[in-house]
Structure 1
Protein backbone atom coordinates (compact mmCIF):
# COMPACT_ATOMS: atom_id res chain seq x y z
CA UNK A 1 0.00 0.00 0.00
CA UNK A 2 2.79 2.43 0.92
CA UNK A 3 4.53 1.69 -2.37
CA UNK A 4 1.32 2.36 -4.33
CA UNK A 5 0.74 5.64 -2.48
CA UNK A 6 4.33 6.69 -3.17
CA UNK A 7 3.92 5.93 -6.85
CA UNK A 8 0.67 7.93 -6.88
CA UNK A 9 2.38 10.97 -5.36
CA UNK A 10 5.24 10.71 -7.87
CA UNK A 11 2.71 10.49 -10.71
CA UNK A 12 0.74 13.55 -9.50
CA UNK A 13 3.94 15.51 -8.88
CA UNK A 14 5.00 14.91 -12.48
CA UNK A 15 1.92 16.72 -13.76
CA UNK A 16 2.15 20.37 -14.89
CA UNK A 17 1.76 22.91 -12.09
CA UNK A 18 -1.43 24.33 -13.61
CA UNK A 19 -3.06 20.90 -13.69
CA UNK A 20 -2.17 20.28 -10.04
CA UNK A 21 -3.53 23.74 -9.14
CA UNK A 22 -6.83 22.92 -10.86
CA UNK A 23 -7.03 19.63 -8.98
CA UNK A 24 -6.36 21.36 -5.65
CA UNK A 25 -9.05 23.93 -6.42
CA UNK A 26 -11.58 21.10 -6.08
CA UNK A 27 -10.58 20.66 -2.42
CA UNK A 28 -10.62 23.33 0.32
CA UNK A 29 -8.22 26.17 1.25
CA UNK A 30 -6.98 24.22 4.27
CA UNK A 31 -6.38 21.10 2.13
CA UNK A 32 -4.49 23.19 -0.41
CA UNK A 33 -2.21 24.61 2.28
CA UNK A 34 -1.46 21.15 3.67
CA UNK A 35 -0.71 19.79 0.20
CA UNK A 36 2.22 22.20 -0.22
CA UNK A 37 4.33 19.79 1.87
CA UNK A 38 3.88 16.93 -0.61
CA UNK A 39 6.42 18.03 -3.21
CA UNK A 40 7.92 21.00 -4.98
CA UNK A 41 5.24 20.85 -7.67
CA UNK A 42 2.48 20.82 -5.08
CA UNK A 43 4.15 23.66 -3.18
CA UNK A 44 4.25 25.82 -6.29
CA UNK A 45 0.67 24.94 -7.20
CA UNK A 46 -0.49 25.77 -3.67
CA UNK A 47 0.82 29.33 -4.13
CA UNK A 48 -0.57 29.92 -7.60
CA UNK A 49 -3.14 32.56 -8.50
CA UNK A 50 -5.01 29.90 -10.51
CA UNK A 51 -5.77 28.03 -7.30
CA UNK A 52 -6.60 30.93 -4.98
CA UNK A 53 -8.67 32.74 -7.57
CA UNK A 54 -10.95 29.70 -7.50
CA UNK A 55 -11.25 29.95 -3.72
CA UNK A 56 -12.15 33.65 -3.82
CA UNK A 57 -15.88 34.43 -4.32
CA UNK A 58 -16.75 35.51 -7.85
CA UNK A 59 -18.01 38.88 -6.56
CA UNK A 60 -15.19 39.63 -4.10
CA UNK A 61 -14.05 42.68 -6.07
CA UNK A 62 -17.58 44.09 -6.09
CA UNK A 63 -17.86 43.64 -2.31
CA UNK A 64 -14.44 45.21 -1.74
CA UNK A 65 -15.53 48.22 -3.81
CA UNK A 66 -18.35 48.79 -1.30
CA UNK A 67 -15.92 49.34 1.57
CA UNK A 68 -16.24 52.47 3.68
CA UNK A 69 -12.62 53.64 3.46
CA UNK A 70 -9.67 53.17 1.16
CA UNK A 71 -7.70 51.25 3.80
CA UNK A 72 -6.81 47.77 2.60
CA UNK A 73 -4.20 45.29 3.75
CA UNK A 74 -3.60 44.29 0.14
CA UNK A 75 -3.35 45.81 -3.31
CA UNK A 76 -6.20 44.42 -5.47
CA UNK A 77 -3.94 44.59 -8.52
CA UNK A 78 -0.43 43.60 -7.38
CA UNK A 79 -1.12 41.31 -4.42
CA UNK A 80 -1.26 37.57 -5.00
CA UNK A 81 -4.65 35.93 -4.81
CA UNK A 82 -3.49 33.96 -1.78
CA UNK A 83 -2.56 37.21 0.02
CA UNK A 84 -5.96 38.67 -0.84
CA UNK A 85 -7.74 35.53 0.35
CA UNK A 86 -6.12 35.45 3.79
CA UNK A 87 -6.39 39.21 4.22
CA UNK A 88 -10.15 38.91 3.72
CA UNK A 89 -10.18 36.05 6.25
CA UNK A 90 -8.25 37.89 8.95
CA UNK A 91 -9.37 41.50 8.45
CA UNK A 92 -13.13 41.99 7.90
CA UNK A 93 -13.89 44.93 5.61
CA UNK A 94 -16.53 47.49 6.53
CA UNK A 95 -18.96 47.92 3.63
CA UNK A 96 -22.24 49.74 2.93
CA UNK A 97 -21.42 52.95 4.82
CA UNK A 98 -19.69 50.96 7.53
CA UNK A 99 -22.89 49.25 8.68
CA UNK A 100 -21.91 45.75 7.50
CA UNK A 101 -18.67 43.80 7.43
CA UNK A 102 -17.49 41.29 4.84
CA UNK A 103 -14.94 38.53 5.39
CA UNK A 104 -14.16 34.98 4.29
CA UNK A 105 -14.18 31.75 6.23
CA UNK A 106 -10.60 30.49 5.95
CA UNK A 107 -11.60 26.81 6.07
CA UNK A 108 -14.10 26.91 3.23
CA UNK A 109 -13.70 30.24 1.43
CA UNK A 110 -17.40 30.99 2.02
CA UNK A 111 -18.57 34.57 2.54
CA UNK A 112 -19.28 35.83 6.05
CA UNK A 113 -21.36 38.95 6.66
CA UNK A 114 -22.00 40.79 9.92
CA UNK A 115 -24.86 43.25 10.19
CA UNK A 116 -23.84 46.02 12.57
CA UNK A 117 -26.27 47.42 15.13
CA UNK A 118 -27.04 50.36 12.80
CA UNK A 119 -28.11 47.85 10.15
CA UNK A 120 -30.63 46.21 12.51
CA UNK A 121 -34.11 47.29 13.43
CA UNK A 122 -34.05 47.62 17.22
CA UNK A 123 -37.24 48.86 18.80
CA UNK A 124 -37.04 52.06 20.84
CA UNK A 125 -33.46 52.91 19.84
CA UNK A 126 -34.84 56.31 18.82
CA UNK A 127 -35.91 56.91 22.44
CA UNK A 128 -32.97 58.31 24.47
CA UNK A 129 -34.44 57.09 27.75
CA UNK A 130 -34.25 53.49 26.56
CA UNK A 131 -31.20 53.19 24.29
CA UNK A 132 -28.08 55.14 23.42
CA UNK A 133 -25.47 54.92 20.67
CA UNK A 134 -21.77 55.00 21.53
CA UNK A 135 -18.42 54.11 20.02
CA UNK A 136 -16.78 51.03 21.49
CA UNK A 137 -13.03 50.38 21.26
CA UNK A 138 -13.52 46.63 20.79
CA UNK A 139 -16.20 46.85 18.09
CA UNK A 140 -15.41 46.61 14.39
CA UNK A 141 -18.19 49.14 13.74
CA UNK A 142 -18.25 52.86 14.46
CA UNK A 143 -21.19 52.59 16.87
CA UNK A 144 -22.89 50.05 19.08
CA UNK A 145 -26.33 50.21 20.70
CA UNK A 146 -26.46 50.21 24.52
CA UNK A 147 -29.63 49.42 26.45
CA UNK A 148 -30.18 51.97 29.22
CA UNK A 149 -33.48 50.58 30.50
CA UNK A 150 -36.45 48.85 28.90
CA UNK A 151 -38.94 46.10 29.60
CA UNK A 152 -38.93 44.74 26.06
CA UNK A 153 -35.95 43.90 23.86
CA UNK A 154 -36.63 43.19 20.22
CA UNK A 155 -34.31 43.38 17.22
CA UNK A 156 -34.53 42.23 13.62
CA UNK A 157 -32.10 41.93 10.74
CA UNK A 158 -32.47 41.07 7.06
CA UNK A 159 -29.95 40.11 4.40
CA UNK A 160 -30.24 39.18 0.74
CA UNK A 161 -29.21 35.64 -0.10
CA UNK A 162 -27.24 37.12 -3.02
CA UNK A 163 -24.71 38.52 -0.55
CA UNK A 164 -23.94 35.01 0.73
CA UNK A 165 -22.38 31.92 -0.82
CA UNK A 166 -24.89 29.71 -2.62
CA UNK A 167 -25.44 26.04 -1.77
CA UNK A 168 -24.28 26.69 1.78
CA UNK A 169 -25.77 26.12 5.22
CA UNK A 170 -25.37 29.22 7.35
CA UNK A 171 -26.00 30.07 10.99
CA UNK A 172 -26.76 33.51 12.45
CA UNK A 173 -25.10 34.60 15.68
CA UNK A 174 -26.11 37.50 17.92
CA UNK A 175 -22.88 39.26 18.97
CA UNK A 176 -23.02 41.30 22.17
CA UNK A 177 -21.56 42.25 25.52
CA UNK A 178 -22.98 43.25 28.88
CA UNK A 179 -21.68 46.24 30.79
CA UNK A 180 -20.69 45.87 34.45
CA UNK A 181 -24.09 46.91 35.76
CA UNK A 182 -26.39 44.88 33.57
CA UNK A 183 -29.49 43.23 34.96
CA UNK A 184 -32.82 41.70 33.97
CA UNK A 185 -31.62 38.97 31.59
CA UNK A 186 -31.73 36.05 34.04
CA UNK A 187 -35.48 35.88 34.57
CA UNK A 188 -36.97 34.50 31.35
CA UNK A 189 -35.26 33.32 28.15
CA UNK A 190 -35.39 35.23 24.90
CA UNK A 191 -36.84 33.86 21.65
CA UNK A 192 -34.72 33.63 18.50
CA UNK A 193 -35.63 32.58 15.00
CA UNK A 194 -33.94 32.60 11.60
CA UNK A 195 -35.40 31.75 8.23
CA UNK A 196 -36.10 32.64 4.63
CA UNK A 197 -38.74 35.36 4.45
CA UNK A 198 -42.06 33.72 3.61
CA UNK A 199 -40.78 30.26 4.55
CA UNK A 200 -41.01 28.16 7.66
CA UNK A 201 -38.71 28.64 10.63
CA UNK A 202 -38.64 27.43 14.21
CA UNK A 203 -38.24 29.51 17.37
CA UNK A 204 -35.63 28.54 19.95
CA UNK A 205 -35.07 29.71 23.51
CA UNK A 206 -31.78 31.44 24.27
CA UNK A 207 -30.29 32.82 27.47
CA UNK A 208 -28.70 36.25 27.11
CA UNK A 209 -27.06 36.41 30.53
CA UNK A 210 -23.43 35.37 29.88
CA UNK A 211 -23.04 34.20 33.47
CA UNK A 212 -26.36 32.40 33.90
CA UNK A 213 -24.57 29.11 34.61
CA UNK A 214 -21.66 30.67 36.54
CA UNK A 215 -22.69 30.58 40.21
CA UNK A 216 -19.58 32.42 41.45
CA UNK A 217 -20.06 35.35 39.09
CA UNK A 218 -23.78 35.34 39.87
CA UNK A 219 -23.12 35.65 43.60
CA UNK A 220 -20.77 38.56 42.93
CA UNK A 221 -23.48 40.28 40.94
CA UNK A 222 -26.09 39.68 43.66
CA UNK A 223 -23.82 41.39 46.19
CA UNK A 224 -23.45 44.38 43.88
CA UNK A 225 -27.21 44.52 43.21
CA UNK A 226 -27.96 44.35 46.92
CA UNK A 227 -25.91 47.47 47.52
CA UNK A 228 -27.50 49.44 44.71
CA UNK A 229 -30.90 51.11 44.39
CA UNK A 230 -33.95 50.14 46.52
CA UNK A 231 -35.61 48.59 43.47
CA UNK A 232 -32.66 46.32 42.89
CA UNK A 233 -32.53 45.39 46.57
CA UNK A 234 -36.19 44.39 46.35
CA UNK A 235 -35.39 42.21 43.33
CA UNK A 236 -32.49 40.68 45.22
CA UNK A 237 -34.80 39.66 48.08
CA UNK A 238 -37.21 38.18 45.51
CA UNK A 239 -34.38 36.11 44.03
CA UNK A 240 -33.23 34.98 47.47
CA UNK A 241 -30.07 32.87 47.43
CA UNK A 242 -30.72 31.28 44.04
CA UNK A 243 -28.07 31.59 41.35
CA UNK A 244 -30.70 32.20 38.68
CA UNK A 245 -34.27 33.43 38.71
CA UNK A 246 -37.10 31.01 39.54
CA UNK A 247 -38.88 29.70 36.51
CA UNK A 248 -35.99 29.88 34.05
CA UNK A 249 -35.01 26.42 32.83
CA UNK A 250 -31.51 26.16 31.40
CA UNK A 251 -32.04 22.61 30.18
CA UNK A 252 -31.84 22.54 26.39
CA UNK A 253 -31.50 26.32 26.21
CA UNK A 254 -28.74 27.87 24.11
CA UNK A 255 -26.29 29.91 26.20
CA UNK A 256 -23.73 32.54 25.13
CA UNK A 257 -20.16 31.60 24.30
CA UNK A 258 -17.18 33.92 24.48
CA UNK A 259 -15.54 34.66 21.14
CA UNK A 260 -11.83 35.09 20.43
CA UNK A 261 -12.39 38.86 20.17
CA UNK A 262 -13.81 39.12 23.70
CA UNK A 263 -17.45 39.51 22.69
CA UNK A 264 -20.16 36.95 23.40
CA UNK A 265 -22.24 35.24 20.77
CA UNK A 266 -25.26 33.01 20.76
CA UNK A 267 -26.57 31.01 17.82
CA UNK A 268 -30.02 32.19 16.75
CA UNK A 269 -30.71 29.51 14.16
CA UNK A 270 -29.58 28.25 10.77
CA UNK A 271 -30.75 28.17 7.16
CA UNK A 272 -29.65 26.78 3.83
CA UNK A 273 -28.92 29.30 1.11
CA UNK A 274 -29.96 28.02 -2.29
CA UNK A 275 -29.16 31.38 -3.89
CA UNK A 276 -31.72 33.39 -5.80
CA UNK A 277 -33.59 36.50 -4.76
CA UNK A 278 -34.67 35.35 -1.29
CA UNK A 279 -34.11 37.32 1.90
CA UNK A 280 -33.23 35.90 5.30
CA UNK A 281 -34.73 37.43 8.43
CA UNK A 282 -33.29 37.06 11.94
CA UNK A 283 -35.32 37.95 15.02
CA UNK A 284 -34.37 38.11 18.69
CA UNK A 285 -36.86 39.25 21.30
CA UNK A 286 -37.70 39.05 24.98
CA UNK A 287 -41.12 40.60 25.60
CA UNK A 288 -42.57 38.43 28.37
CA UNK A 289 -40.76 39.74 31.44
CA UNK A 290 -42.30 42.30 33.79
CA UNK A 291 -38.89 43.39 35.09
CA UNK A 292 -36.78 46.02 33.39
CA UNK A 293 -33.50 45.22 31.68
CA UNK A 294 -30.29 47.20 31.39
CA UNK A 295 -26.70 46.95 30.15
CA UNK A 296 -26.98 45.03 26.86
CA UNK A 297 -24.39 46.18 24.28
CA UNK A 298 -25.31 45.19 20.72
CA UNK A 299 -22.54 44.88 18.13
CA UNK A 300 -24.61 43.04 15.52
CA UNK A 301 -25.60 39.73 13.97
CA UNK A 302 -22.98 37.63 12.17
CA UNK A 303 -23.97 35.22 9.40
CA UNK A 304 -21.30 32.61 8.70
CA UNK A 305 -21.19 29.03 7.36
CA UNK A 306 -21.73 26.17 9.74
CA UNK A 307 -18.51 24.46 10.74
CA UNK A 308 -19.73 21.15 9.33
CA UNK A 309 -19.65 22.70 5.85
CA UNK A 310 -16.23 21.74 4.49
CA UNK A 311 -16.56 22.19 0.73
CA UNK A 312 -17.39 25.04 -1.59
Structure 2
Protein backbone atom coordinates (compact mmCIF):
# COMPACT_ATOMS: atom_id res chain seq x y z
CA UNK A 1 0.00 0.00 0.00
CA UNK A 2 2.90 2.35 0.80
CA UNK A 3 4.26 1.91 -2.75
CA UNK A 4 0.91 2.83 -4.26
CA UNK A 5 0.61 5.90 -2.02
CA UNK A 6 4.13 6.94 -2.99
CA UNK A 7 2.93 7.29 -6.57
CA UNK A 8 0.33 9.90 -5.60
CA UNK A 9 0.86 13.66 -5.09
CA UNK A 10 1.50 14.62 -1.47
CA UNK A 11 -1.78 16.51 -1.06
CA UNK A 12 -3.70 13.42 -2.25
CA UNK A 13 -1.86 11.25 0.28
CA UNK A 14 -2.66 13.78 3.02
CA UNK A 15 -6.33 13.74 2.06
CA UNK A 16 -6.40 9.95 2.26
CA UNK A 17 -4.63 9.87 5.64
CA UNK A 18 -6.99 12.51 7.03
CA UNK A 19 -9.78 9.94 6.67
CA UNK A 20 -7.99 7.51 9.01
CA UNK A 21 -6.93 8.20 12.62
CA UNK A 22 -4.10 9.79 14.57
CA UNK A 23 -2.72 6.31 15.31
CA UNK A 24 -2.72 5.43 11.59
CA UNK A 25 -0.99 8.71 10.67
CA UNK A 26 1.75 7.97 13.23
CA UNK A 27 2.23 4.50 11.77
CA UNK A 28 2.71 5.95 8.29
CA UNK A 29 5.30 8.40 9.61
CA UNK A 30 7.29 5.47 10.97
CA UNK A 31 6.67 3.11 8.07
CA UNK A 32 7.87 5.26 5.18
CA UNK A 33 10.19 8.27 5.07
CA UNK A 34 8.70 9.29 1.71
CA UNK A 35 5.22 9.52 3.26
CA UNK A 36 6.33 11.28 6.43
CA UNK A 37 5.78 14.80 5.11
CA UNK A 38 2.22 14.01 4.02
CA UNK A 39 1.43 12.24 7.31
CA UNK A 40 2.67 15.24 9.35
CA UNK A 41 0.72 17.85 7.38
CA UNK A 42 -1.82 20.24 8.88
CA UNK A 43 -4.39 18.89 6.44
CA UNK A 44 -4.16 15.48 8.15
CA UNK A 45 -3.98 16.55 11.79
CA UNK A 46 -6.57 19.27 11.39
CA UNK A 47 -9.11 16.50 10.78
CA UNK A 48 -8.24 14.86 14.11
CA UNK A 49 -8.78 18.03 16.14
CA UNK A 50 -12.22 18.79 17.67
CA UNK A 51 -14.64 20.63 15.39
CA UNK A 52 -15.21 23.22 18.15
CA UNK A 53 -11.46 23.82 18.58
CA UNK A 54 -11.72 27.63 18.54
CA UNK A 55 -14.26 27.53 21.38
CA UNK A 56 -12.02 25.22 23.43
CA UNK A 57 -8.94 27.40 22.90
CA UNK A 58 -10.91 30.49 23.92
CA UNK A 59 -11.44 28.86 27.33
CA UNK A 60 -7.77 28.02 27.95
CA UNK A 61 -6.17 29.02 31.23
CA UNK A 62 -2.99 30.28 29.51
CA UNK A 63 -1.83 30.85 25.94
CA UNK A 64 -1.12 27.65 24.04
CA UNK A 65 1.90 27.81 21.75
CA UNK A 66 2.25 25.36 18.85
CA UNK A 67 3.93 25.31 15.45
CA UNK A 68 1.70 22.74 13.72
CA UNK A 69 -1.66 21.05 14.14
CA UNK A 70 0.12 17.80 14.93
CA UNK A 71 1.90 19.49 17.83
CA UNK A 72 -1.39 21.01 18.96
CA UNK A 73 -3.06 17.59 18.87
CA UNK A 74 -0.49 16.09 21.23
CA UNK A 75 -0.60 19.12 23.52
CA UNK A 76 -4.32 18.50 23.87
CA UNK A 77 -3.62 14.83 24.60
CA UNK A 78 -1.50 15.94 27.57
CA UNK A 79 -4.49 18.00 28.82
CA UNK A 80 -4.97 21.75 29.12
CA UNK A 81 -6.69 23.86 31.78
CA UNK A 82 -9.93 25.67 30.93
CA UNK A 83 -12.33 28.17 32.49
CA UNK A 84 -9.85 29.90 34.76
CA UNK A 85 -8.16 26.65 35.71
CA UNK A 86 -11.13 24.86 37.29
CA UNK A 87 -11.55 22.28 34.49
CA UNK A 88 -9.13 20.33 32.33
CA UNK A 89 -9.63 19.02 28.79
CA UNK A 90 -7.79 16.29 26.93
CA UNK A 91 -7.97 14.07 23.86
CA UNK A 92 -7.39 10.34 23.79
CA UNK A 93 -4.18 9.79 21.78
CA UNK A 94 -5.59 6.79 19.91
CA UNK A 95 -9.23 7.66 19.31
CA UNK A 96 -9.15 11.46 19.57
CA UNK A 97 -12.22 11.36 21.83
CA UNK A 98 -12.67 14.08 24.43
CA UNK A 99 -12.29 13.89 28.21
CA UNK A 100 -12.87 16.45 30.95
CA UNK A 101 -11.91 16.71 34.60
CA UNK A 102 -14.07 18.97 36.78
CA UNK A 103 -11.95 20.20 39.66
CA UNK A 104 -13.28 20.33 43.21
CA UNK A 105 -13.92 24.06 42.59
CA UNK A 106 -16.21 23.13 39.68
CA UNK A 107 -18.25 20.75 41.85
CA UNK A 108 -21.06 21.35 44.30
CA UNK A 109 -19.85 20.03 47.67
CA UNK A 110 -22.05 20.38 50.73
CA UNK A 111 -20.53 22.72 53.37
CA UNK A 112 -17.41 23.27 51.20
CA UNK A 113 -17.25 26.93 52.27
CA UNK A 114 -17.41 26.06 55.95
CA UNK A 115 -13.80 26.06 57.31
CA UNK A 116 -14.83 23.88 60.25
CA UNK A 117 -15.77 21.10 57.84
CA UNK A 118 -13.54 21.48 54.74
CA UNK A 119 -10.24 23.15 53.88
CA UNK A 120 -8.85 24.29 50.51
CA UNK A 121 -5.15 23.89 49.70
CA UNK A 122 -2.73 23.14 46.89
CA UNK A 123 -1.48 19.61 46.25
CA UNK A 124 1.80 18.58 44.66
CA UNK A 125 0.19 15.86 42.53
CA UNK A 126 -2.85 17.82 41.38
CA UNK A 127 -3.23 19.42 37.94
CA UNK A 128 -5.32 22.14 39.61
CA UNK A 129 -4.24 24.98 41.89
CA UNK A 130 -6.54 23.78 44.68
CA UNK A 131 -8.02 20.61 46.10
CA UNK A 132 -10.42 20.25 49.01
CA UNK A 133 -9.90 18.14 52.14
CA UNK A 134 -12.55 17.02 54.57
CA UNK A 135 -11.84 17.99 58.17
CA UNK A 136 -14.88 16.54 59.84
CA UNK A 137 -18.57 16.05 59.05
CA UNK A 138 -21.38 13.57 59.53
CA UNK A 139 -22.51 13.57 55.89
CA UNK A 140 -20.95 14.04 52.45
CA UNK A 141 -22.71 15.25 49.32
CA UNK A 142 -20.81 15.84 46.05
CA UNK A 143 -22.33 16.70 42.68
CA UNK A 144 -20.88 17.52 39.27
CA UNK A 145 -22.60 18.43 36.01
CA UNK A 146 -21.55 18.32 32.35
CA UNK A 147 -23.39 18.78 29.06
CA UNK A 148 -23.11 16.04 26.45
CA UNK A 149 -22.49 18.68 23.74
CA UNK A 150 -18.97 19.02 25.17
CA UNK A 151 -18.28 15.30 24.72
CA UNK A 152 -17.73 12.96 21.76
CA UNK A 153 -20.97 11.66 20.21
CA UNK A 154 -21.88 7.97 19.95
CA UNK A 155 -19.60 7.15 22.87
CA UNK A 156 -20.05 5.49 26.25
CA UNK A 157 -18.50 7.58 29.03
CA UNK A 158 -17.59 6.78 32.61
CA UNK A 159 -17.63 9.30 35.48
CA UNK A 160 -14.92 8.89 38.13
CA UNK A 161 -14.48 10.65 41.47
CA UNK A 162 -10.74 11.36 41.94
CA UNK A 163 -9.67 11.18 45.58
CA UNK A 164 -6.95 10.48 48.09
CA UNK A 165 -7.30 9.35 51.69
CA UNK A 166 -4.96 11.00 54.19
CA UNK A 167 -3.06 9.10 56.88
CA UNK A 168 -5.28 10.69 59.51
CA UNK A 169 -8.56 9.69 57.80
CA UNK A 170 -11.38 8.26 59.91
CA UNK A 171 -14.95 7.04 59.44
CA UNK A 172 -14.85 6.85 55.64
CA UNK A 173 -15.55 3.14 55.31
CA UNK A 174 -18.13 2.74 58.05
CA UNK A 175 -21.08 2.97 55.67
CA UNK A 176 -21.47 2.86 51.90
CA UNK A 177 -22.24 6.05 49.97
CA UNK A 178 -24.90 6.26 47.30
CA UNK A 179 -23.48 7.03 43.84
CA UNK A 180 -25.40 7.86 40.69
CA UNK A 181 -25.16 9.18 37.14
CA UNK A 182 -28.30 10.55 35.54
CA UNK A 183 -29.50 12.48 32.49
CA UNK A 184 -33.08 13.58 31.93
CA UNK A 185 -35.26 10.65 33.01
CA UNK A 186 -32.49 8.02 32.96
CA UNK A 187 -30.61 7.36 36.20
CA UNK A 188 -28.25 4.58 37.29
CA UNK A 189 -27.30 4.22 40.97
CA UNK A 190 -25.00 2.04 43.03
CA UNK A 191 -23.03 2.14 46.27
CA UNK A 192 -19.37 2.74 47.05
CA UNK A 193 -16.98 3.00 49.99
CA UNK A 194 -14.57 5.93 50.15
CA UNK A 195 -11.64 3.87 51.43
CA UNK A 196 -9.72 1.07 49.69
CA UNK A 197 -9.87 -2.35 51.30
CA UNK A 198 -7.72 -2.57 54.43
CA UNK A 199 -7.64 -6.29 55.26
CA UNK A 200 -6.16 -5.85 58.74
CA UNK A 201 -8.72 -3.23 59.68
CA UNK A 202 -11.46 -5.36 58.17
CA UNK A 203 -10.49 -8.27 60.44
CA UNK A 204 -10.59 -6.07 63.54
CA UNK A 205 -13.98 -4.67 62.57
CA UNK A 206 -15.33 -8.15 62.02
CA UNK A 207 -14.43 -8.97 65.63
CA UNK A 208 -15.51 -5.72 67.30
CA UNK A 209 -18.12 -3.94 65.21
CA UNK A 210 -19.79 -6.49 62.93
CA UNK A 211 -23.28 -6.10 64.40
CA UNK A 212 -23.10 -2.31 64.28
CA UNK A 213 -21.71 -2.38 60.73
CA UNK A 214 -24.50 -4.66 59.51
CA UNK A 215 -27.08 -2.36 61.07
CA UNK A 216 -25.57 0.70 59.36
CA UNK A 217 -25.35 -1.02 55.98
CA UNK A 218 -29.13 -1.51 56.05
CA UNK A 219 -29.49 2.26 55.85
CA UNK A 220 -28.34 2.48 52.22
CA UNK A 221 -29.59 0.96 48.98
CA UNK A 222 -28.07 -2.33 47.93
CA UNK A 223 -25.24 -2.23 45.41
CA UNK A 224 -21.78 -3.44 44.61
CA UNK A 225 -20.04 -1.48 47.36
CA UNK A 226 -17.36 -0.24 44.94
CA UNK A 227 -13.93 0.63 46.30
CA UNK A 228 -11.33 3.16 45.08
CA UNK A 229 -8.73 1.90 42.61
CA UNK A 230 -5.25 3.32 41.95
CA UNK A 231 -4.56 5.62 39.02
CA UNK A 232 -1.29 6.15 37.17
CA UNK A 233 -1.11 9.76 38.37
CA UNK A 234 -0.89 8.77 42.04
CA UNK A 235 -4.55 9.43 42.88
CA UNK A 236 -7.38 6.94 43.37
CA UNK A 237 -10.74 6.87 41.64
CA UNK A 238 -14.23 5.53 42.23
CA UNK A 239 -16.46 4.93 39.21
CA UNK A 240 -19.73 6.75 39.86
CA UNK A 241 -21.41 5.26 36.79
CA UNK A 242 -21.56 5.42 33.01
CA UNK A 243 -23.74 7.01 30.35
CA UNK A 244 -24.06 7.06 26.57
CA UNK A 245 -23.65 10.23 24.52
CA UNK A 246 -25.84 10.25 21.44
CA UNK A 247 -26.69 13.14 19.14
CA UNK A 248 -28.96 14.91 21.65
CA UNK A 249 -27.66 17.61 24.02
CA UNK A 250 -28.36 16.60 27.61
CA UNK A 251 -27.12 17.61 31.04
CA UNK A 252 -25.49 14.80 33.01
CA UNK A 253 -25.51 14.82 36.81
CA UNK A 254 -22.90 12.81 38.74
CA UNK A 255 -23.39 12.38 42.48
CA UNK A 256 -21.99 10.82 45.61
CA UNK A 257 -24.10 11.10 48.76
CA UNK A 258 -23.60 9.73 52.26
CA UNK A 259 -26.34 11.47 54.13
CA UNK A 260 -28.04 8.68 56.09
CA UNK A 261 -25.15 7.75 58.35
CA UNK A 262 -24.31 9.09 61.79
CA UNK A 263 -20.58 8.39 61.69
CA UNK A 264 -18.17 11.30 62.02
CA UNK A 265 -15.63 11.20 59.21
CA UNK A 266 -12.61 13.12 57.88
CA UNK A 267 -9.41 12.93 55.85
CA UNK A 268 -10.95 12.65 52.37
CA UNK A 269 -9.12 14.69 49.70
CA UNK A 270 -11.03 15.45 46.50
CA UNK A 271 -9.37 16.55 43.26
CA UNK A 272 -12.48 16.37 41.08
CA UNK A 273 -14.59 14.22 38.76
CA UNK A 274 -13.20 12.87 35.49
CA UNK A 275 -15.49 12.14 32.55
CA UNK A 276 -13.71 9.95 29.98
CA UNK A 277 -14.60 7.46 27.21
CA UNK A 278 -14.85 3.83 28.29
CA UNK A 279 -13.76 2.48 24.90
Normalising by structure 1, what TM-score?
0.79
5+ long unaligned stretches in structure 2: none
Is it true that 1:61 corresponds to 2:54 in the alignment? yes
Give the alignment's Cα RMSD to 1 decimal. 2.6
* Corresponding residue number in structure 2 for 1:40: 33
1:281: how far off?
0.9
Matched position secondary structure for 2:77:
helix
CA distance, structure 2, for counterparts of residue 142 and residue 53 of structure 1: 31
Is it true that 1:205 corresponds to 2:191 in the alignment? yes
Is it true that 1:264 corresponds to 2:236 in the alignment? yes
CA distance, structure 2, for counterparts of residue 177 and residue 138 of structure 1: 11
CA distance, structure 2, for counterparts of residue 287 and residue 167 of structure 1: 35
Is it true that 1:113 corresponds to 2:100 in the alignment? yes
* Corresponding residue number in structure 2 for 1:102: 89
Is it true that 1:51 corresponds to 2:44 in the alignment? yes
Residues 36 and 241 of structure 1, relative CA distance in 2, 3 Å threshold: farther
Matched-pair contact (CA < 8 Å) for 2:191–2:223 = no
* Corresponding residue number in structure 2 for 1:300: 272
CA distance, structure 1, for counterparts of residue 6 and residue 177 of structure 2: 55
Matched-pair contact (CA < 8 Å) for 1:13–1:39 = no
1:188: how far off?
2.0
* Corresponding residue number in structure 2 for 1:146: 133
Normalising by structure 2, what TM-score?
0.88
5+ long unaligned stretches in structure 1: 1-7, 223-235
Residues 20 and 195 of structure 1, relative CA distance in 2, 3 Å threshold: farther
CA distance, structure 1, for counterparts of residue 96 and residue 233 of structure 2: 21
Matched-pair contact (CA < 8 Å) for 1:147–1:297 = yes
Is it true that 1:86 corresponds to 2:64 in the alignment? no
Matched-pair contact (CA < 8 Å) for 2:181–2:254 = yes
Matches within 5 A, 1:120-199: 120-196=107-183, 198-199=184-185
Give the paired residue count: 273
More strand by share: 2
- Moved beyond 3 Å, runs of 4+: 238-243, 245-253
Matched-pair contact (CA < 8 Å) for 1:193–1:284 = yes
Matched position secondary structure for 2:126:
coil
Residues 141 and 23 of structure 1, relative CA distance in 2, 3 Å threshold: same
1:305: how far off?
1.1
